[in-house]
Structure 1
Amino acid sequence: MTSSNGGYDPVVKLPTPRGPLSEAVVDALGRDRTGRTIPFATADPFGEDLTIALHTMYELHYGGFDDVDPAWEWDPELLRLRGQAEQAFLGALRSHVDGGDDLESELDALLVEHVPGSGVSHHLRENGTWDEMREYFAHRSVYHHKEADPHAWVIPRLRGTAKASLVAVEFDEYGGGKADRMHSRLFADLLDGAGMSSDYLAYLDDVPAPAIALVNMMSMFGLHRSLRGALVGHFAAAEITTAPSAHRMAQALGRLEADPRCAEFFTEHIEADAVHEQIMRRDVIGSLLDQEPALRPDVVFGIQATGLLEDRLADHLLSSWRSGSSSLRTRLRWLVSQNG
């Protein structure tokens, strides 16, 4: 199986279920197709069970799973079930953000750096431990192993300058055509430098719902044409906020005297995303809204939903670390696998 980082992935196994919903999905994928009813509408939209079930169904559109029939990707019954899960998840996102169409205020707010800062990168820079840093890498691996891939879904849904400019940003994300410089490859190198597994989705069973929900949001926005504005808003939010955070992460890794491969992933983003910020704001969003002004509230929603889920992940990480506990689901297995 060819990987997003330019190499070849090992066998990708189905994840361990986290409740009856994900158990039903995993069980169905391991057998012939089924008409089993799964009650997504009554599930916690941010909970472990629905989150891993939705991620499992989305993964069929990426690399898939070993011993799972590729035809499942477009199975009508599974798509119907995925639609139920998406309806619950999307409804929860909309109900937890303010909405509106004040795009300029949302974009301006992304540029504000609060002093003193209290986020994850601030904590890791000032007094984070090496174990906390590696936990953070495990959380982010669910996304960075497929970095840029969720955003690529929106390319055929854009036109003109918006399309061309977003492709220009994606070209950088994919290393400017050089496999060893793709951001997903750089993150795999980071994991190697940290003494961790760089295999695709190696830590999926260890990572709780908050980090996985972010990836689900990207996949959902990208796979639905009706959510193209939200995907653009999300992508802009990610590009605008990455550079200052990446700078702090590079400083944190310097303080911890980490392998240079760990810092390289972040130093690459400091310069690249500072340029991407301007392209996304002026050429992608500006052109899109010139063509389709009715999408302004959707772009706002994408920005706000990204902030909501990033805040939920940060709250989980910081509350876990402040209480002296692991932020991962399987601390013992993870520590033994890395240090044993």
Structure 2
Amino acid sequence: MRGPVTSLLFERLVRPPHRFGLLSLPLLSFPARFAGPVLEDEDVQLALFVCYELHHRGFEGVDDRWEWNPSLLEVREILETRFEEGLARAVRYPPGSRPEQTRQALAELVAAAVDGPDLTGFLQGQADLEQFREFAAHRSIHHLKEADPHIWAIPRPGVRPHAAPVEIQADAYGGGRGGRMRPEPFRATLRELGMDDSYGAYLDRVPAITLAVSNAMSLFALHRRHLGALLGHLAAVEMTSSASRHLYSLGLRRLGRPGGDEVARCFRDEHARGDAVHERIAADDMCAGFVTRHPSRAGDVLYGAACALTLDRLFAEHVMGHWRRGASSLREAGAATRS
């Protein structure tokens, strides 16, 4: 629990589904509650993550009927509104582009993103083992369910043909072979680092900005009005992950790879090569194809990509800022947040 909203939310969710008035959520409906940066608000981001997680894996001891409980959806809507306002303040809505310019526009967004702190380069050449473990704890929040939010793009009307997102997601899910699903190499990496590879193991330790990275994916995925942003977000991930995964692998090799799982390393590099192919498919076939059919939503595609890149930059600033001070980028286990 990180504040009044998550405190009450956790207390309610372990009970059978019921209706509770919004006024019972302390300060939730008052704008002053959100006077600070929402992307860094521990209470808001964890509460929203919990609401979204009910649409993914759920929680042990929480009734599945909470997923579509109207009362909880009202709470989620308030949290989402604040989150969308925070994203809008952090990310300028890009001007639209013609279909043939979509790839270039995406590439320019990716190129501009390198102005942030070079977390990837630091992990490759300087990070020690404990810093790698911290980084893995952060990334475990969405890497262990990496393809799940983006899969919502496939059935949405407006994505024609479906072949582009299907091809990307099929690889992410290992082509039907469980051991080759993209989260599995990451689990092996966690084990190599002597860490817990179970889903959500480090939820209590990661800060608000880490949760915001995951929440943006779920926000775009669960709302059909955000389809363009979801496609742009997926494209940005595919256009940046190939190089970064390769550099992570180099950093782990530099540290001597505790655990010695050669298969995990091969899969990690294999996925990096696959992401290079996905980059073209995502930018040309998926995003440009969507803009061709929906030219008025070109800005949505670029906005989703910009949100992904901006949140990654803010995440890198958080991590590198703490490491430069000689501090941990993770929260203390069980730490409460004052509101």
TM bucket, shorter chain: 0.7 to 0.9
TM alignment of 1:14-33, pairs within 5 A: 17-32=1-16, 33=18
1:303 to 287, 302, 305: 305
Deviates more, 1:294-303 or 1:232-241: 294-303
Q: 8 Å contact 1:187–1:265 — kept in the other structure? A: no
Aligned-pair distance for 1:262? 5.8
Aligned-pair distance for 1:268? 2.8
2:245 maps to what in 1?
246
- Alignment length, in residue pairs? 317
Q: 1:79 to 1:117 in 2, by over 3 A?
A: closer
Once the two structures are superposed, what CA deviation does each residue of 1:12-68 show, in whole Å capped at 9, x if it has no partner? xxxxx1100111211110123241423155334221000000000111101111111
Q: 8 Å contact 1:171–1:177 — kept in the other structure? A: yes
2:289 to 282, 287, 292: 287
One-letter amino acid of the structure 1 residue matched with residue 224 of structure 2: R
One-letter amino acid of the structure 2 residue matched with residue 71 of structure 1: R
Aligned-pair distance for 1:106? 3.5
One-letter amino acid of the structure 1 residue matched with residue 169 of structure 2: E
Identity %: 37
Q: 8 Å contact 1:110–1:241 — kept in the other structure? A: no
Aligned-pair distance for 1:185? 1.6
Q: Give TM-score scaled by structure 2 length.
A: 0.88
**Aligned: 1:207 with 2:206:** yes
Looking at structure 1, the residues matched to 233 and 114 of structure 2 have their Cα atoms a distance apart, in angstroms, of 24
Looking at structure 2, the residues matched to 233 and 143 of structure 1 have their Cα atoms a distance apart, in angstroms, of 17
**SS state at 1:157 partner:** coil
1:278 maps to what in 2?
280
Q: CA RMSD in A?
A: 2.1
TM alignment of 1:89-100, pairs within 5 A: 89-100=83-94
1:49 to 43, 50, 55: 43
1:175 maps to what in 2?
174
Once the two structures are superposed, what CA deviation does each residue of 1:197-228 show, in whole Å capped at 9, x if it has no partner? 01110000011111111111000100000000
Looking at structure 1, the residues matched to 228 and 161 of structure 2 have their Cα atoms a distance apart, in angstroms, of 11
Q: Give TM-score scaled by structure 1 length.
A: 0.88
Aligned-pair distance for 1:133? 0.4
**Aligned: 1:83 with 2:64:** no
Give the structure, 1 or 2, with the largest relative contact order (CA under 8 Å, sep 6 or more). 2
**SS state at 1:156 partner:** coil
Looking at structure 2, the residues matched to 262 and 253 of structure 1 have their Cα atoms a distance apart, in angstroms, of 12
Unaligned runs of 5+ in 1: 1-16, 334-340
1:11 maps to what in 2?
none
User: Where does structure 1 differ by over 3 angstroms across 4 or more consecutive aligned residues?
Assistant: 102-106, 110-118, 158-162, 259-266
1:72 maps to what in 2?
66
1:126 maps to what in 2?
125
1:165 maps to what in 2?
164
**SS state at 1:324 partner:** coil
